[in-house]
Structure 1
Amino acid sequence: MSTLLKNVTNCIWHAFDSLQNKDVVHKSKLKVLTANIGTLLDLYGVEKGLDHFKSSQELTFDEFRYYLQHEVFSSLPKTTTLPIVREYEKKISEVCWLVCRKSLLSRDKGVFGDDSVLKLFRIFCLLGDLVQDADDSNHYVVVLQPSEAGIVAEQLVHCLGLRWDAADWEALGSSIGHFKWAAFLAVLEAKYCGDQQLHSEALVEAVDEIYDVFIEDIIKKGYLFKRGYLLPTMREYWCVLQPCALTYYKSSSQKEQCGRVTIDEYCSVEAAAGEGKIQRFQLITPDRTFEFGTQDHKSRLQWISALRQAAAVSGGVEGYQRRARAIRRGAGARREREVRETRARLQHEVKARLAAEAQAQELVELAQQDNKKLEELKHAQVELERLLQEETQAKRDEEIVRALQARVLAEEWERREELERLQEEQNKMLEEERLKRHQFELLQAEKESQFKEAEKRLKELEEEKRKLDAELKAAQDKISKTENTAYALQVQLRDLNPVLRNGERARRALSFVPTTKSSSDTLIDVRAIRHLKILDDEEKL
């Protein structure tokens, strides 16, 4: 029966470890251990096969476990009940304890008695794992996970009426790691039971309490009212609930058993209506319906839940605690798998973020290059506008000069007496020109400050482009608009070419105007040119 061997493997390993010498044990010693195990299982003569098993006189633990599985435990019935399996485990554990108790009980100052240490040993073997030693791959060792050891220590502390410090245990578990038997017993005795005020009886009761929970698979115990079969009266009993049975006694000492109710997966529990202070519920079995009661509603709910749980785990040959341990291990494995998946996902996200940042950096560099080109286009636009204004001004100057020259030639003698008045008006106009030029300079300074603010804003936008991927598209749209503007400027420049050609023709026409002028003509030309500049400045404003 492989399940029974699996349950007692840790105990057998401790017995094997106490007999071994350099990872092997002589067959003569193993024959005694095998004979005792076979006697407990009602199998006789199973140790004789060791003489013909392997050619060497010494066996490793793997070889000895293989022999037990195929020559001893395979002879047991494949289907058996949980109480029988539990009884076999108890007997085999006691035999193994007799072999290894001397080495396992050796310590400086013992707090627990021998019987309590045996019970803790069985709990350790129940929750422990048989793993290969990190230093020697051929050597095995039974270790207890810090979480499993913490469950035992926590229940022991609660049974002693002390306060449990979870953070302190996590720090201790992280420093020790996996608990071997010596470390596990030393921590329980020195850290939690080393207080001189604790009475020895309290320690025994506390160990018995956790032994009942882990080894005896006691799901719940306490006082219950039970209705008699012949007399319909409710009598109070001390009840102990296990996965396969509900046993009731006269008192909490559990010395006088009054009855036992078998529980299987076909049993059900229902709340029942009752009169008085007793809160009743019914345990329905295939053979009979039992009626129980509690003092309050909360206790009734707890007992109903416990009974349903016992019925759910009653099938099979594994106890309640072994199933709970498997569930905890499965949950821990799922958590570890989720943690690994989360770490892998985070690493993938980090790589994706780094790739996105690199791509964003490239886009920012492209945007900077485009902005640089945009600045160059803006400078070219300004230069072209300046040249266009100069050309336009030159054309206007030429037209005004020509018109004034013709007018001055016609009215030269009539306006000679008005020369002084015109000079005064000219001075006034020059003063107005200076004022307008000053206003123009102020306006130009304001535009320059706006341009600097625009450059500052552009730098801020560039910083935002590095941080926010979402604004990259906006930057690209802005670059596209800039390219459209540059294209529009090119179109305008192309449209201005006929105007420039007309200006060239006008200059050629002026080249035919006579250049000989009198002093009065020259004065009038200067006045006309100044007047044209004033008009041009007004146009610019």
Structure 2
Amino acid sequence: MDLRAELLKSIWYAFTALDVERSGKVSKSQLKVLSHNLYTVLCIPHDPVALEEHFRDDDDGPVSSQGYMPYLNTYILDKVEEGAFVKENFDELCWTLTAKKNYKPDRNGNSIISHQDAFKLWCLFNFLSEDKYPLVMVPDEVEYLLKKICTAMNVELNSCELDDYLSQESQGQGGLTVWQFLDMVNSGRFLRGIEQEAISMAVEEVYQEVIQDVLKQGYLWKKGQLRRNWSERWFTLKPSVLSYYMSEERKEKKGSIALDKHCCVEVLPDRDGKRCMFC
């Protein structure tokens, strides 16, 4: 997906969350704060003069999404550089704004996913949803996502029951909204009898594959560059880089190896049976 289109989806949720009166417009003071936060998470140099000038108090009143787009395009999206910011931090900002208003995990009197899992499912939904507003995910993509989560848990999705559910819930809008999707998951209707920990691990696996582009990951033994002893590290393989961390929590990155078309990665056991990595 094009980066700008991907960012716009999350920003759309943030904008609509600020539209407290559901009028299609947001006050200038709120848009000023939102823009300042977007500058920060997208690592764009702030332009305080343009910010104050564009959102100064006057008689124009609240701003529509179309009215906000010229500023958003010129001062924010046109200046975004891929790889210069942490996408997850940007998504968390937009999720926090929209979830506070719209996400009701106990709406059905039950909740089988954590708040963090809901965030990751929201990101997956955005990635797979149609590039039209208001955002919906078509039935085929809903089935695709649920099947991937079920496959990660080694369980089978009841496709017939899902088809019946989608035919009722998606009528008139061509698919499910993210809040309908999260309600469906939280209801336990298609994940009956599965522990929350297992669901969480499956959601994380699919999130890393689809959103973070992780091809393979796991513990390997690595020989040190200076001290030639073997240490166990958690490795993640992406199309262009192999990174390694102290543990699977990936809080402390120890290094990375850039990969190009001339590289290959093989994992082979050594004479002691350890799994070793060679590039």
TM-score (norm 2): 0.78
**Structure whose alpha-carbon radius of gyration is higher:** 1
Partner of 2:162: 169
Residue 275 of structure 1, CA deviation: 7.7
Q: Which amino acid aligns with 2:158?
A: D
* Residue-pair matches, total: 265
The correspondence for 2:278, drawn from 287, 291, 294, is 291
- Give yes or no for contact 1:271–1:280 (8 Å, CA) kept in 2: no
- Give yes or no for contact 1:227–1:291 (8 Å, CA) kept in 2: no
Partner of 2:178: 181
The answer to whether structure 1 residue 221 and structure 2 residue 217 are counterparts is yes
Relative contact order (alpha carbons < 8 A, sep ≥ 6): 1 or 2 greater?
Answer: 2
- Give yes or no for contact 1:153–1:188 (8 Å, CA) kept in 2: no
- Give yes or no for contact 2:242–2:259 (8 Å, CA) kept in 1: yes
Q: Which amino acid aligns with 1:216?
A: Q
Residue 144 of structure 1, CA deviation: 1.0
Residue 183 of structure 1, CA deviation: 1.4
Q: Which amino acid aligns with 2:179?
A: A
The correspondence for 1:43, drawn from 42, 45, 49, is 45
TM-score (norm 1): 0.43
Change in 2 beyond 3 A, CA 1:115/1:275: closer
Residues 110-147 of structure 1, C-alpha deviations (whole Å, 9 max, x = no match): 3222222122212222222342xxxxxxxx41111222
The correspondence for 1:153, drawn from 135, 146, 154, is 146
**Over aligned residues, Cα RMSD in angstroms?**
3.4
The correspondence for 1:72, drawn from 73, 76, 88, is 76
Partner of 2:94: 96
- Give yes or no for contact 2:102–2:179 (8 Å, CA) kept in 1: yes
Q: Which amino acid aligns with 1:84?
A: A
Partner of 1:464: none
Residue 174 of structure 1, CA deviation: 4.2
Aligned mates of 1:222, 1:4 — CA distance in 2:
28
Residue 180 of structure 1, CA deviation: 0.5
Tell me the SS of whatever aligns to 2:264.
strand
Matched ranges for 1:490-529 at <5 A: none
Aligned mates of 2:156, 2:122 — CA distance in 1:
24
Matched ranges for 1:324-363 at <5 A: none
Partner of 1:516: none
Residue 226 of structure 1, CA deviation: 4.2
Partner of 1:247: 243
- Give yes or no for contact 2:25–2:64 (8 Å, CA) kept in 1: yes
Partner of 2:111: 110
Change in 2 beyond 3 A, CA 1:123/1:53: farther
Residues 508-529 of structure 1, C-alpha deviations (whole Å, 9 max, x = no match): xxxxxxxxxxxxxxxxxxxxxx
Aligned mates of 1:240, 1:35 — CA distance in 2:
33
Tell me the SS of whatever aligns to 1:37.
helix
Partner of 1:59: 63
- Give yes or no for contact 1:142–1:180 (8 Å, CA) kept in 2: yes
Tell me the SS of whatever aligns to 1:247.
strand
Change in 2 beyond 3 A, CA 1:31/1:267: same
Change in 2 beyond 3 A, CA 1:59/1:270: closer
Residue 69 of structure 1, CA deviation: 0.5
Aligned mates of 1:179, 1:30 — CA distance in 2:
28
Change in 2 beyond 3 A, CA 1:229/1:184: same
Matched ranges for 1:193-232 at <5 A: 193=191, 195=192, 197-229=193-225
Aligned mates of 2:207, 2:64 — CA distance in 1:
32
Residues 481-528 of structure 1, C-alpha deviations (whole Å, 9 max, x = no match): xxxxxxxxxxxxxxxxxxxxxxxxxxxxxxxxxxxxxxxxxxxxxxxx
Partner of 1:122: 123
Residue 248 of structure 1, CA deviation: 2.3
Aligned mates of 2:268, 2:199 — CA distance in 1:
42
Structure 2: runs of 5+ lacking an equivalent: none
Aligned mates of 2:275, 2:201 — CA distance in 1:
31
Hey, which of these two has a bigger chunk of helix by percent?
1
Change in 2 beyond 3 A, CA 1:261/1:272: closer
Aligned mates of 2:40, 2:119 — CA distance in 1:
21
